[in-house]
Amino acid sequence: MKKPVLALAFFMILAVYAGGCIGRGREFPTAPVSSIRPNMTTKQEIFSAFGEPVEKGIDTGFETWTYYYYTLGQGFGGKRLNIIFNPDGTVRNYAYSAN
């Protein structure tokens, strides 16, 4: 059991030091973020712009979709988009962050 874990750790470290990039989540476009309008933009429009979310859930009784992509290698970077929907399927609120 220890050998596969050690081998995986070795290859992850090698990828980082060799200039490779290790990512978590799924890459998504950021340009459409500026077009999101609370109480107007629909789930279908969000799906068309960003694709399938990495995570779906419920936050204080409202459906949420989360998109994120984090990278490690030649510096750390990432971006995250959280969207909360109204019961009628329009965006209630959203938050976007990137570094």
pLDDT digits (tens, 9 = 90+) for 48-80: 999 999 999 999 999 999 999 998 766 678 999
Q: How many angstroms separate the CA atoms of 4 and 16, rounded?
A: 19
C-alpha distances out from residue 38 to 33, 73, 84, 91, Å: 12, 35, 9, 5
For 86, the domain range is 21-98
CB 35 within 8 A of CB 89: no
pLDDT digits (tens, 9 = 90+) for 19-32: 445 668 999 999 99
Residue 45 domain flag: yes
Residue 3 domain flag: no
Residue 77 domain flag: yes
The total of structural domains in the chain comes to 1
pLDDT of residue 90: 98
Residue 6 domain flag: no
Instruction: Give me the CATH number covering residue 36.
Output: 3.30.1450
Reported pTM: 0.73
Residue 15 domain flag: no
Residue 66 domain flag: yes
